[in-house]
């Protein structure tokens, strides 16, 4: 909206860099001057040191950083992919076929507001404390946005397009495949991106179930051992990987739906 004044590129880049640098400088200073006790917050330089150190140092959680990252990625990807595979077709069907809508929406509305964390006791009883139960918690978190976005996307298909297809002799199922689904695709992708975000955000919750590795577990152990640098390192690694993968999904989204207006 408020048209931005034309500034040379380097000036914009400088402003952005300044923001980050000032943020870290204040953080470093607050710790260095002793305003905050080192037990509560550690300087960014110490976190960076912990980052490199963690690749071969197994204290306090018994594993190196790369093992934690791979374990967490496996759990999140398994939960996220199964949520997409089940959630997207389900949402599309619920949005397009009236019978599906009437049949499934009430069930979905019951399950939707339950926080993923509240599933933990039930999941432990049903699936045990292994890989499966963690994947299920992630699945629950990722499932909801997949369904909602696919549902809203296909419901917004303009009547005109549907009528054209019907006039041209398309069956109801053909209309679903050739008009509804392509129309909903941009929304579906947004849903996939959102659901990846909530899958990744639930990682810490899922790893509360008896774990011995994973980034969420690493944070818990860092806290138990009162090592704030491990806690902050864990947070930053989770944040960075989450941001990077969301960015990749964004690129995929633009490649898959090139007709969509770029609004970012």
Partner 1 sequence: MNKSNRITDMLLPVISVMFVLALWWFASSQNDVLAGPVETLERFIELIEHPKMGIPLYVHVLSSFYRIMVAFIFASVIGVSLGVAFGVLPTFKRIMWPVFSILRPLPPLAWIPLIVLWVGTSGDASKIIIIFIGIVMAVIINTFAGISHTDEMLLDAGRTLGASKWQILTDITLPNSIPVILAGLKTGLSTGWMSLVAAEMMVVDNGIGFLINDSMQYYDTALDFVGIILVALSSSLLTLLLNLLERRLCPWLYLQSK
Tokens standing for residue 168: 């041209």
262 binds partner 1 (CB under 8 A): no
Q: Does 220 bind partner 1 (CB under 8 A)?
A: yes
Stretch that binds partner 1, among 74-82, 113-121, 158-166, 178-186 (CB under 8 A): 113-121
Interaction between residue 20 and partner 1 (CB under 8 A): yes
Give ∠ CA 259-262-264 in degrees, rounded to 5: 160
Shortest spacing between CB 49 and partner 1, in angstroms: 18
Question: Is residue 39 a contact point for partner 1 (CB under 8 A)?
Answer: yes
Nearest CB to partner 1, comparing residues 135 and 149: 149
**Residue 56 or residue 263: which is nearer to partner 1 going by CB?**
263
Question: Per rule CB under 8 A, is residue 105 in the interface with partner 1?
Answer: yes
Is residue 197 close enough to count as binding partner 1 by CB under 8 A?
Answer: yes
The residue within the footprint of partner 1, chosen from 35, 107, 160, 168 (CB under 8 A), is 107
Length of the chain (residues): 264
Among 235, 254, 257, 260, the residue binding partner 1 under the rule CB under 8 A is 235
Q: Which of 25, 45, 226, 252 touches partner 1 by CB under 8 A? A: 226
DSSP secondary structure, 5-23, as one string: P---HHHHHHHHHHHHHHH
If the CB atoms of residues 13 and 252 are measured against partner 1, the closer one turns out to be 13
Report yes or no: 85 and 195 within 8 Å, Cβ to Cβ: no
Burial 54-65 (b: 16+ CB within 10 A, else e): beeeeeebebeb
Sorted by sequence, the CB contacts under 8 Å of residue 50 that are 6+ apart come out as 229, 230, 233
Distance in angstroms (rounded) separating the CA atoms of residues 156 and 1: 26
Using the 8-state DSSP alphabet, how is residue 176 labeled? I
Rounded distance, CA 134 to CA 122, Å? 12
Interface contacts to partner 1, rule CB under 8 A: 1-2, 4-5, 12, 15-20, 22-23, 39-41, 98-99, 102-107, 110, 113-122, 124-126, 197-198, 200-205, 216, 219-220, 222-223, 226, 228, 231-232, 234-236, 238-240, 242-243, 246, 263
């Amino acid at each position: 909206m408020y048209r931005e004044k034309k500034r040379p590129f380097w000036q914009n880049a400088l402003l952005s860099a300044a923001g980050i640098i000032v943020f870290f400088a204040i953080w470093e200073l607050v710790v260095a001057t002793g305003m905050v006790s080192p037990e509560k917050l550690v300087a960014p330089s110490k976190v960076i040191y912990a980052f490199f150190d963690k690749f071969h140092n197994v204290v306090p959680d018994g594993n190196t950083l790369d093992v934690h990252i791979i374990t967490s990625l496996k759990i999140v990807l398994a939960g996220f992919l199964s949520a997409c595979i089940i959630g997207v077709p389900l949402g599309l069907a619920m949005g397009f076929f009236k019978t599906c809508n009437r049949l499934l929406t009430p069930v979905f509305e019951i399950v939707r507001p339950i926080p993923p964390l509240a599933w933990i006791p039930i999941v432990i009883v049903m699936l045990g404390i292994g890989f499966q139960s963690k994947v299920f918690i992630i699945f629950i978190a990722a499932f909801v946005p997949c369904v909602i976005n696919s549902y809203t996307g296909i419901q917004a298909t303009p009547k005109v397009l549907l009528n054209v297809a019907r006039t041209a002799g398309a069956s109801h199922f053909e209309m679903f495949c050739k008009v509804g689904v392509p129309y909903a695709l941009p929304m579906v992708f947004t849903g996939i991106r959102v659901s990846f975000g909530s899958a990744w955000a639930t990682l810490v919750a899922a790893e509360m179930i008896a774990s011995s590795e994973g980034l969420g577990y690493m944070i818990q152990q860092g806290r138990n051992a009162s090592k704030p640098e491990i806690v902050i390192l864990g947070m930053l690694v989770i944040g960075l990987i989450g941001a990077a993968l969301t960015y990749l999904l964004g690129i995929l989204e633009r490649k898959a739906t090139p007709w969509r207006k770029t609004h970012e």
